[in-house]
Structure formats: C-alpha cells, structure tokens
C-alpha cells in the first residue's frame, strides 16, 4: 500500500510538473505573440485615394503603415472597407464599390474580397442588394461582431433618397458565396455607418444620423432602446468599437469636420471624451479588428536596383525587434541570410550587374520569427544619368528663359509674363502666369528625373499643378506625368486622371508656405519605379508602375499650369529647374541636396 501511494504521489507530481511546464510554455508563447490590431481604411474621394490601406498596432492607438495594397475592388475604387478574420484563417473585406470618379454613386451591390497576407486581395462575386425594392444606394457595409463564427454584415441602403436604413445579410455557406437577406434590423430611416455587435446577451448598435447614437436590444432585429445622446457625439461618422486584450473597449470615429479620433470605455456604455488618434490625419472611415493569432511577415517589401547593388525597404512593424534579409539566385530559393538589421532598409552591395537577385524578409517579434515575405527581385545595372535641360532663370527681363545645357532650341517662355531677377522667376496666380517649355522635351528617355528648388509663399489651391508634361484632350489631360504640390504627389498615366498611377503615401505632404523646397521627382517605369524626394528625403514612392514613358506624348510642357481646365494657377518662386535623362538614386539626391541649387552634381558623386 505504501509503495502504491509512493508511485501514485510520484505520478501525480510528474503530472503536476508537466502541467506547470505546459502552462509556462503557454504563458511564454502568449507573451511572445501579443495581439495585433489591424486597421483597414482609405484616404479620400480621389480615384487613387479610394484604395485599401492596412495599418497595424499593438495598442490600437499607435499605428504603423503595413501595406499600401493598391487594391480598389472590382471597379478600381473602394470606400468604407470593413475587415474581419474568418475561422478559415483568411481576412475578408466588405466595402462600398463606386466608380473611380463617382465616390457617392448609386449602387445595388457591395464588394467582397479575401486575403491571406493583408497585401494581395482577391475579388469575390459582388453581393447584390436588389432584394430591397427600388434600392438606390448601398453604402458603408460593416461586419457584425457576435462571436458566432457565421459571417454577417450590416449595409445601409435606401429605396428613396430619404429612406437610408441598415439591413442585415448572413452567409449561408462557409466560402461566403451565398447570402440570405436583406433583413431590416429595425433601427429606422436616415441612419448610416452602422456597426452592430453582441456582448453577452445584449446587442449594441452604433449608428449615425445628426448625432452618433448608441442603442441596445435583446435581438439583432430589436426592439432597440436608445441610450441618452451625447452632445460631443455630433457629426461623428464611421464608428468602430473593438474590444481590447484587457477587456476594455476602444471606439474609433471619423468626424465630418475633423481628423480621426477615438474614445475608450470599460463596459461599452460609459465612454471617455474624444481623443485624437496620433499620426492618422489622412485616413477615412475604416475598421479595426483585434487579431490574437497574427503571424505575417513584414509588409510592402521593395527592391530597387542600382549599380552593383540592390536597395531593400519595407514598412515598420510595431513590436518587431529585428528583420532578417535572405537572398537567392533563383526564384523560389534556396535563400541564404545576408543581413539581420533593426531598421527598415538595407542595401545589398558588391553584386553583379545584369544578374537577377531574389529576396525575402522576415521579422522577429516577441522572440519568434515570422514567415518570409513574398519574394521580390531586382537586376543591378549601371545607372547612367545625364543632365539634359537646365533653367536657372538668370535673366533680368523679357519673357524668355534660357536652357543653359540643352541649348536655345529648348528655351522656355513666359506666355503671361513673370518677374525675373536674382536668379529666380516669380509667377502669380492672378495673372495666370506659368513657364512654357518646348514639346517633346523628355525625348525618348526610359527614365527621367526632374529636380527643382521652389518657394510656395501662400496656401496652395487644392487642384493645381507644379509641373506637367503630356497632352490635352478637350478640357482634360491625356497621357502625362505631373506633380501636384498641395498633396505632395507625382503621377503618371496613359489616359486621364482616372488612370493615374501615384506615389504613396498620397497625399505625402502639403507644400504650402514652403521656402526653397528641393523637389526631386524620379520617373523610372522601366524598373516599375517612381520616387518623390523633398529636401533630400524620400517622401513617397511606387514600385508597381506599369505605364512606360513611351506612352507619354509630350505635346505640352508646363511649369505652374495644369492640363485640366478647371484647375487653378498658383503663386510660386522658381530658383532652378532641371531635367535629367535617367533615374537618380537616393545617393544622387543626397549629393545634389548638399550642393544646393547653384552647383551641379559631378559624375564622381554617383556610384
């Protein structure tokens, strides 16, 4: 009996030790993988603004850009994206899908897409709302949060201009290709941006009319009881309440006349005053979810080739302690580690020009390594850049500005006048003044760098253009490259604005009231690249350019004038304007930034 008890005690002790070890491992694993908050959003009403962006955070307050996905749904534009993670491990997005140039168009459907990596999105069949007789609009769909595992969403639809109300749709199969609905949830007319969630046995609804309202009910279809209104909830749109890891609540809102804000609550009933969401001033109505099993690599990895080198860059991830870069000589690997860095960039040097190199990046967060990113590739090459045209505005009178490099055949003019003096030209919006350069000035270049030192002494109009090279069809641009200073962006298109490919972020910065601004715009479609530098620093870029410079027919070359008849002129002083054949590297930009507008970069200064 004693022996049996000893054996039993030993066995129990071993089980206890194993259980404690398992608990310890679970605690370590839990500590190693804190929840990640994922914010899906868009940035405005322009065609390129209505593209999905993904941000990530460890506290739901301080976000980092994870991916500028470029995804715009079936129409090329989306609004009000709502994200959820399904039980199949995929992320699903439901959204408003307007035409690119009609953000508030009538629609009788909502868009649906899925992704496994938050970067590449796959469009699914639209979800029809024609079950609502005479439906006119289908706006701001939002996933229902109820813990059931059965996807549901609320969409705000109307059968008349004054009858906007929320309807419920429920998935009837696992792959989300069949839906039941619509079901009027009983909130009533003239409500928009509706979020519905269930906590315990109580349903909560946050919905906007003139005020943001909060109602509760025993069922998703009511009857709903409204809580007392709060005056500080006036003009709040896009509510999204998310439960934090500690059990408290966070609600993000999109004020109509202000930038993104949030509030907190211990119980979903009592809310703090509004607080500004730091660093998120340009985003619009979106949703935040908490992902307790986030296991993805760094986002938006890019590879930019140079002379004997490849510059790699990716977006920062909150909580990452290091990033591992791996290289292969063939697609698919095998990959060999080449660096372990704490920053978000690395230049792989001493490479062979003309050889294709493949890269993946992983990150370490909480002591665990993520999967590898999707591979990127680049081919190093000798980067030959030549100065083709230079306008220094050294004249003191007249309406001609000389090209000191290209020669008199490429001299520019001031059709509506301008003030010359002190090595600058001053142009006034009131006089519709601009610089006109000859047609065909970009030649047959496969890559072009445009550099200028410019002062914008006043608040810039929303729709204006710093420079543009291309053609005009009727009252619109057609096939051009351009730079818009109010939003700090450059773009290329073979058609009009609806087909523009922009640098990101867009907007990247407002150049109003800026003095002696050094602007460098690099158009390198042959390498799928565009980059915008301001005062030597990279501010925006694109690595997915598909429109070649050969598609740009340079019949008009303007500085200070738009190709669009409705756009405005602008006040500015121009100190120097240069056009290079070839693409500047970041080192080139840094070198010419240090020299200033009165000196030229020497060939030896370029690698």
Number of Cβ within 10 Å of residue 206's Cβ equals 23
Topology of domain 386-605, CATH: Jelly Rolls (2.60.120)
For residue 182, cis peptide bond before it (omega within 30 degrees of 0): yes
Contacts of 200 (CB under 8 A, 6+ apart): none
Each residue of 452-476: pLDDT tens digit? 999 998 899 989 999 999 999 999 9
φ, ψ of residue 460 in degrees (nearest 5): -75, 145
28 vs 24: CA distance, rounded Å: 6
pLDDT above 90 covers a percentage of the chain that reads 72
How many other CB atoms are there within 10 angstroms of residue 145's CB atom?
Answer: 20
Cα–Cα distance for residue pair 360/312, rounded to 1 Å? 10
- What is the b/e burial string over 17-31, where b = at least 16 CB atoms within 10 angstroms of the residue's CB? eeeeeeeeeeeeeee
Superfamily of domain 302-378: Immunoglobulins (2.60.40.10)
DSSP H helices, 375-432, are none
Assess contact for 255 and 234: CB atoms under 8 A.
no
302-378 has the same fold as 33-291: no
Half-sphere CA count of 457, side-chain side, radius 13 A: 8
Q: At a CB cut-off of 8 Å and minimum separation 6, what does 64 contact? A: 55, 56, 57, 315, 316, 317, 318
Token pair 């818009």 is found at 484
Q: CB count, 10 Å around CB of 3?
A: 7
Check whether 4 has a pLDDT greater than 50: no
Give percent of the chain with pLDDT exceeding 70.
93
* Residue-level pLDDT at 602: 63
Side-chain-side CA neighbours of residue 103 (13 Å): 13
Q: Specify the pLDDT at position 604.
A: 39
Pair type for strands 287-291 and 36-41: antiparallel
Q: Give the H or E element holding residue 556.
A: strand 556-559
Phi, psi (rounded to 5 degrees) for 229: -70, 150
**Fold (CATH) for 33-291:** Tachylectin-2; Chain A (2.115.10)
How far, in Å, are 460, 491, 505 from residue 465 at the CA level? 10, 11, 18
- What is the sign of the dihedral through the CA atoms of 45, 68, 277 and 167? positive
Q: Residue 123 in contact with residue 109, Cβ under 8 Å?
A: no
| CA 323 centroid distance within chain | 22
Q: Give me the chain's average pLDDT, please.
A: 89
The pLDDT value given to residue 12: 46
Q: What are the strands of the beta sheet with 236-243, ordered from one edge?
A: 236-243, 249-255, 261-265, 275-276
Write down the pTM of the prediction.
0.74
Domain ranges of the chain: 33-291, 302-378, 386-605
What pLDDT is recorded for position 161?
Answer: 61
Q: Which residue has the tokens 């619109």?
A: 476
Convert the pLDDT of each residue in 515-568 to its tens digit: 999 999 999 998 889 999 999 999 988 888 999 999 998 999 999 999 999 899
What are the distances in angstroms from CA 119 to CA 389, 391, 570? 40, 42, 37
Q: What is the pLDDT of residues 134-161, one digit of tens each?
A: 899 999 999 999 999 999 999 999 987 6
The full DSSP string for 23-69 is: HHHHHHHHHHS--EEEEEE---SSTTTSS-EEEEESSSSS-EEEEE-
Please, which pLDDT band fits residue 28 given cuts at 50, 70 and 90?
very low
Give the number of other Cβ atoms within 10 Å of residue 333's Cβ.
14
The answer to whether residue 3 scores a pLDDT higher than 70 is no
In angstroms, the CA 289 to CA 83 distance is 7
């Amino acid at each position: 009996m004693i022996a049996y008890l000893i054996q039993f005690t030993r066995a129990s002790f071993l089980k206890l030790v194993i259980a404690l070890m398992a608990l310890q491992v679970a605690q370590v694993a839990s500590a190693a993988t804190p929840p990640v908050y994922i914010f899906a959003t868009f940035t405005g009403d322009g065609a390129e603004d209505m593209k999905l962006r993904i941000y990530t955070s460890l506290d739901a307050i301080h976000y980092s850009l994870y991916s500028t996905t470029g995804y715009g749904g079936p129409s090329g534009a989306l609004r009000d994206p709502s994200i959820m993670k399904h039980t199949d491990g995929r992320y699903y997005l439901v959204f408003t899908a307007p035409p690119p140039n009609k953000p508030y168009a009538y629609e009788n459907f909502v868009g649906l897409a899925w992704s496994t990596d938050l970067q590449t999105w796959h469009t699914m069949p639209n979800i029809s709302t024609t079950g609502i007789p005479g439906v006119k609009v289908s706006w701001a769909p939002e996933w229902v949060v109820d813990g059931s595992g059965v996807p549901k969403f609320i969409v705000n639809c109307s059968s008349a201009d004054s009858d906007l109300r929320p309807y419920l749709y429920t998935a009837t199969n696992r792959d989300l290709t069949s839906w039941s609905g619509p079901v009027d949830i009983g909130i009533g007319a003239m409500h928009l941006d509706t979020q519905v969630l269930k906590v315990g046995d109580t349903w909560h609804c946050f919905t906007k009319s003139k005020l943001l309202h909060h109602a509760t009910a025993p069922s998703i279809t009511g009857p709903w009881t409204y809580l007392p209104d709060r005056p500080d909830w006036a003009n709040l749109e896009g509510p999204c309440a998310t439960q934090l890891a500690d059990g408290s609540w966070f609600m993000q809102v999109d004020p109509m006349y202000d930038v993104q804000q949030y509030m907190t609550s211990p119980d979903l009933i009592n809310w703090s005053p509004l607080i500004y969401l730091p660093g998120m001033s340009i985003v619009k109505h979106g949703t935040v979810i908490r992902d307790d099993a986030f296991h993805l690599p760094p986002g938006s990895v890019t590879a930019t080739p140079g002379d004997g080198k490849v510059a790699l860059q990716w977006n920062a991830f909150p909580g990452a302690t290091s990033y591992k870069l791996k290289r292969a000589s063939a697609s698919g690997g095998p990959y060999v580690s080449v660096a372990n860095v704490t920053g978000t960039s690395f230049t792989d040097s001493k490479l062979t020009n003309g050889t294709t190199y493949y890269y993946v990046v992983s990150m370490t967060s909480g002591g665990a390594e993520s999967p590898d990113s999707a591979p990127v590739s680049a081919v190093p090459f000798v980067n030959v850049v030549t100065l083709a045209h230079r306008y220094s505005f050294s004249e003191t009178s007249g309406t001609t500005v000389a090209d000191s490099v290209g020669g008199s055949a490429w001299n520019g003019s001031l059709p509506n006048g301008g003030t010359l003096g002190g090595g600058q030209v001053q142009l006034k919006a009131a006089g519709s003044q601009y610089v006109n350069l000859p047609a065909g000035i970009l030649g047959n270049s496969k890559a072009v760098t445009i550099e200028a030192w410019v002062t914008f002494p006043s608040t810039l109009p929303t729709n204006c253009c710093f420079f543009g090279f291309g053609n005009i069809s009727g009252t619109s641009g057609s096939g051009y490259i351009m730079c818009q200073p109010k939003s700090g962006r450059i773009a290329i298109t073979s058609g009009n604005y609806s087909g523009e490919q922009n640098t990101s972020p867009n907007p990247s910065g407002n150049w109003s009231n800026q003095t002696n601004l050094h602007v460098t715009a690099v158009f390198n479609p042959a390498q799928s690249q565009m980059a915008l530098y301001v005062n030597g620093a990279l501010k925006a870029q694109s690595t997915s350019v598909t429109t070649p410079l050969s598609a740009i027919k340079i019949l008009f070359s303007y500085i200070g004038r738009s190709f669009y008849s409705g756009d405005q002129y602008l006040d500015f002083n121009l100190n120097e304007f240069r056009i290079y054949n070839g693409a500047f590297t970041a080192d080139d930009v840094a070198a010419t930034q240090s020299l200033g507008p009165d000196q030229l970069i020497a060939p030896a200064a370029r690698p």
